[in-house]
Structure 1
Amino acid sequence: MRYFVHIGYNGLKYNGWQKQPGVMNVQGVLEQALTQVLKTPIFINGCGRTDARVHASQFFFHMDVEQPWDFDLIFRMNKVLPANIAIFDIIPMEGMQHARFDAVQRSYDYFIHTYKNPFLNGLSSFYLLDKLDFDKMKQAAAILPNYKDYRAFCTSPDKYEHTLCYVKSASLSVDENGDHLRFQISSNRFLSKMIRIIMGQLLKIGKGVLSVEEFESYLINNKTPELITPAHPEGLYLSKVTYPYLNLPPRQQFSSILQIQADLSWQRL
């Protein structure tokens, strides 16, 4: 039988989601734990691939298990797994739904703080900046849903069959003191390092070294910037994955220091 598993993880100590030899990865840790607990080899398919040191406050994978278990699998897995990975729900599926290919929308949050804060270390990206032009950054973010081809904002576009991404929304928020930023973007798919590249460009706009017109010209002409400077990975969260048949709210407690503050005290630009 096929199961969808709803999880969250702090990716700071991992070299991304995807299983690969010789490095710590989230997929490998989960497969090892499931194989140990269920006492049979388990292989899983994730809803996407996060980069090294990137987090997921909502993530799904599917697994096929022939024999049902007669114990609390969520409880036992959360005891076996390290503290930086949590299982929230295990959902039996009627057919052979696919965690990656069936997802119709993915949403990401990117958090920045502009002063040194040891309590946000690893949860938000630290940039020692002041007097950012939030209005110009807002203008650039608002442009994104108008374009479909994101070849310009990808580290290796030629590895894809196509570089079309249907961005549904993109916005910036800032807290009342102006020293915490939150970038939110939703699309059917994302390319390699696409969000971090966009965030890096938005920061350049905020600092006045890149104009909104130059930013848009990359999208118009499918031209990659001469210097690609992806933003730090630590502030990026895969925060929502939506399926036609499954739309669970994220467990916001996973990044509550940031998200609850954002929900209560931040102003959308």
Structure 2
Amino acid sequence: MDISYKGTNFNGWQIQPNGVTIQEEVEKALSTILQEEIAIVGSGRTDAGVHATQQIAHFDADELATEKLVFKLNSFLNEDISVNKISHVKDDVSARFEASSRTYHYHLHQDKNPFKNGYSYHFKPELDVDQINKACEIIKDWQNFECFSKVHTEVNHFNCEIFEAKWMLESTNHLFVISANRFLRGMVRAVVGTLIDVGLGKTSLEDFIEILKSNDRSKAGRAVPAEGLYLHEVVYPKDIYLN
């Protein structure tokens, strides 16, 4: 399933007892329409308030008329969630483990704009984009990103392969793009917060390298607000698809 959602009114992707989540809403809709208990697995979690232009999830069910199911789901689902496409894949494919890359976008705007509220981070100070992109080049050559991971995260390792990291400015709108084979919990928002410190001149490139070396979350910048973050694209090998 290729899914888009506005995360503002949700407690993130993953089902939890203390709030409404996207996974819960999609599972509820699927189970009602197909009249069987359906569980879905996403390509990864997004936190409360984070958006997705493309989230991928898989589920198991009997033979489906996918186009009709897309129509029914979109009629049933909350207006903040849309199902864009459903594809048949091989039986053993996992949306979580088969992804070859994930891309996140972070949006930031400097001028007050009521139409960007909830969709972009309003941050007024000027940033040195050239200096930020020098730090992005450092990120692309690094492997261990424990300094940007939420503490007490249960993972086997903190290594990520960064394929792309760049910061772009158009008028007063900023866009940060980062692609990798995997991301740690809270990683992108911590990366952006630290890059902002670089752009403000608070953190030098030498300091930035020391933060990476430290493997210490407390040394990195703050986590920027969720509203500017989007899971933009999830890519899979073409040979997983049956249609």
How high is the TM-score relative to the length of structure 2?
0.93
- Other-structure match for 1:75: 71
After TM superposition, the structure 1 = structure 2 runs for residues 84-233 of structure 1, keeping only pairs within 5 Å, are 84-129=80-125, 131-156=126-151, 158-175=153-170, 177=171, 179-226=172-219, 228-233=221-226
- State the Cα distance separating 1:160 from its structure 2 match: 1.4
- State the Cα distance separating 1:212 from its structure 2 match: 1.5
Q: Is the 8 A contact 1:133 1:207 kept in 2?
A: yes
Q: Do the aligned partners of residues 246 and 12 (structure 1) sit closer, same or farther apart at CA in structure 2, a change above 3 Å counting?
A: farther
Residues 2-61 of structure 1: CA distance to partner in whole angstroms, max 9, x if unpaired? xxx111111111111000113010000001111111111111001100011001101110
- State the Cα distance separating 1:70 from its structure 2 match: 9.0
Q: Do the aligned partners of residues 145 and 45 (structure 1) sit closer, same or farther apart at CA in structure 2, a change above 3 Å counting?
A: same
Which ranges in structure 1 are unaligned for 5 or more consecutive residues?
249-269
Q: Is structure 2 residue 27 aligned with structure 1 residue 31?
A: yes
Q: Is structure 2 residue 4 aligned with structure 1 residue 11?
A: no
Residue identity over aligned pairs, in percent, reads 35
Q: Do the aligned partners of residues 87 and 158 (structure 1) sit closer, same or farther apart at CA in structure 2, a change above 3 Å counting?
A: closer
**Matched residues in 2 for 1:9 and 1:78: separation?**
12
Q: Is the 8 A contact 2:132 2:195 kept in 1?
A: yes
**Matched residues in 2 for 1:158 and 1:121: separation?**
31
Q: Do the aligned partners of residues 35 and 174 (structure 1) sit closer, same or farther apart at CA in structure 2, a change above 3 Å counting?
A: same
Q: Which stretches of structure 1, 4 residues or more, deviate above 3 A after TM superposition?
A: 67-71, 223-228
Q: Secondary structure at the match of 2:47?
A: coil
Q: Secondary structure at the match of 1:159?
A: coil
Q: Is structure 2 residue 39 aligned with structure 1 residue 46?
A: no
Q: Do the aligned partners of residues 171 and 52 (structure 1) sit closer, same or farther apart at CA in structure 2, a change above 3 Å counting?
A: same
**Matched residues in 2 for 1:185 and 1:7: separation?**
20
**Matched residues in 1 for 2:120 and 2:153: separation?**
31
Task: Output the aligned Cα RMSD.
Answer: 1.9
Residues 100-124 of structure 1: CA distance to partner in whole angstroms, max 9, x if unpaired? 0101110110000012111011111
Q: Do the aligned partners of residues 51 and 158 (structure 1) sit closer, same or farther apart at CA in structure 2, a change above 3 Å counting?
A: closer
* One-letter amino acid of the structure 2 residue matched with residue 27 of structure 1: Q
* One-letter amino acid of the structure 1 residue matched with residue 178 of structure 2: I
Residues 122-162 of structure 1: CA distance to partner in whole angstroms, max 9, x if unpaired? 11111122x32121111111211100000111122652111
* One-letter amino acid of the structure 2 residue matched with residue 81 of structure 1: L
Q: Is the 8 A contact 2:191 2:221 kept in 1?
A: no
- State the Cα distance separating 1:228 from its structure 2 match: 4.3
Q: Do the aligned partners of residues 70 and 96 (structure 1) sit closer, same or farther apart at CA in structure 2, a change above 3 Å counting?
A: closer
Q: Is the 8 A contact 1:137 1:206 kept in 2?
A: yes
Q: Is structure 2 residue 234 aligned with structure 1 residue 237?
A: no
- State the Cα distance separating 1:95 from its structure 2 match: 2.3
Q: Is the 8 A contact 1:56 1:239 kept in 2?
A: yes
- State the Cα distance separating 1:216 from its structure 2 match: 1.4
How many residue pairs end up in the alignment? 241
